[in-house]
Amino acid sequence: MRLALVPRELAAETVADLLHHNMIVRNAKISRSEEIVLIPVNEAGEKYCISIGLKVIEGETHGRKDESPHRLIQKALDLPEEKMRLLPHKWELFGDLAIIRLDERLREHEEEIGRAYAKALGVSSVCVDRGGVKGEFRQPTVDLIYGETSESVRLENGILYKMDVCKLMFASGNVDERARMGELDCKGEIIVDMFAGIGYFTLPLAKYTGAEMVYACEKNPVAFKYLQDNIRLNDVTGKVCPVLGDNRSLPLAGIADRVVMGYLKGTRDFLWKGFELVAPGGVIHFHETYNVKEMPHALTRDLTLSSGGREYKVETLREVKSFAPSVSHYVADIKVYD
């Protein structure tokens, strides 16, 4: 049996990633030590793990006792039946931590609930997402309820994303869009990522597409610090130029073969800058939320108002995810001609 050796803090995310791609030997046991988790992988998994820098060895495994995490969580807790029923069946993994949503009626039991989820899911920390993101920097309302730290590293499509989940948002629903950015052919291109965050789109663009340089602009100093860490972590120093500040002040008019505008609910107010940055023949990836009934007219209106009379064409328009009833997150790929 081939076993991938994974550092404990990356284990939860690696397992999720490998399962998603059918690369785990499912009836074998995942074993743990203090520092390392041994994950049984098939041939495709072995190749993938080696490609992202993990070591794979030959070793022994045992049959797995199949008990769902939710069952383990219930067994670990001593709560009245009506409260047991409120325990969440879903969670999101971010590296070595899990994020859950918790009914207010469970607030007084948060610490023991956190401990039970940590043990059952094999993570070191558990956070509660109280819902929503706030302000210009899109800060989440997330609290640490178990463990030492809310900072971890997520492995997704071979990219490592490090951040603090209590301070910054990570839209797991944008996973396909992050993957799509990494699949583009950007050989020799100059790219400007106007809302870089921790490197959501910058990192796959710099790592996989052949881009010459990605200018990654981020206004929030906390996100910017993680952007710098992630550039080093993913070995793309020299391919990314991180810029701390407001993208509206970028002095890069007309240089970009590609502009990425990965913001929501107000990106239209920055669209004029996207047009200013893009070179003739370039592309803008424009993200925005729209009422589904108003599409595509509302997009046409925004483009007309911001294009400064330049000629352009919406090459593709995709719905990334549903955002609220009748409101969706869209991304438009806009080719700018002159």
Ligand X SMILES: C[S@@+](CC[C@H](N)C(=O)[O-])C[C@H]1O[C@@H](n2cnc3c(N)ncnc32)[C@H](O)[C@@H]1O
Contact residues toward ligand X (CB under 6 A) are: 136-138, 169-171, 174, 195, 197, 200, 217-220, 223, 246-248, 262-263
- Cα angle 312, 315, 317; round to 5: 115
Report the nearest approach of ligand X to the CB of residue 196 (Å). Answer: 7
Which residues share a beta bridge with 163?
Answer: 152
Nearer to ligand X, 206 or 223 (CB): 223
Q: 87: Cβ–Cβ under 8 A, 6 or more apart, which residues?
A: 70, 73, 74, 77, 79, 106, 113
Yes or no: say if 174 and 320 are a contact pair by the CB < 8 Å rule. Answer: yes
CB 252 within 8 A of CB 192: yes
Whole-number Å distance between alpha carbons of 288 and 300: 12
Cβ atoms within 10 Å of 72's Cβ, excluding its own = 15
Closest contact distance (angstroms) between CB of 197 and ligand X is 4
Classify residue 64 by its DSSP letter. P
Least Å from the CB of residue 49 to ligand X: 25
Closest approach of ligand X to the CB of residue 38, in Å? 31
Residue 336 contacts by C-beta under 8 Å, 6 or more apart in sequence?
275, 278, 280, 281, 282, 283, 284, 307, 310, 311, 312
Cβ atoms of 141 and 130 closer than 8 Å: yes
**CB-nearer residue toward ligand X: 23 or 169:** 169
| Rounded Cα–Cα distance for residues 258 and 271 (Å) | 13
- Please identify, using beta-carbon distances, which residue of 171 and 292 lies nearer to ligand X: 171
Give the residue with the Cβ less far from ligand X, 40 or 197. Answer: 197
CB of 109 or CB of 138, closer to ligand X: 138
Q: Which is nearer to ligand X, 138 or 239 (CB)?
A: 138
Provide the minimum distance between the beta carbon of 245 and ligand X in the complex, in angstroms, as a whole number: 7
- Nearest Cα to Cα of residue 109 among 73, 152, 70: 73
Q: Where are the alpha helices (DSSP H) in 105-195?
A: 110-121, 175-183
**H or E element: which one contains 173?**
none
| Shortest Å distance, C-beta 268 to ligand X | 13
Separation of alpha carbons 190 and 215, rounded Å: 8
Nearer to ligand X, 239 or 285 (CB): 285
Q: State the Cα torsion 136-271-206-18 to the nearest 10°.
A: 60
Q: Considering the complex, state which of residue 151 and residue 218 has its C-beta at the smaller distance from ligand X.
A: 218
Nearest approach, Cβ of residue 320 and ligand X (Å): 9
Give min distance, CB of 35 to ligand X, in A: 30
CB of 149 to ligand X, least distance (A): 20
Question: Which CB sits closer to ligand X, 3 or 256?
Answer: 256
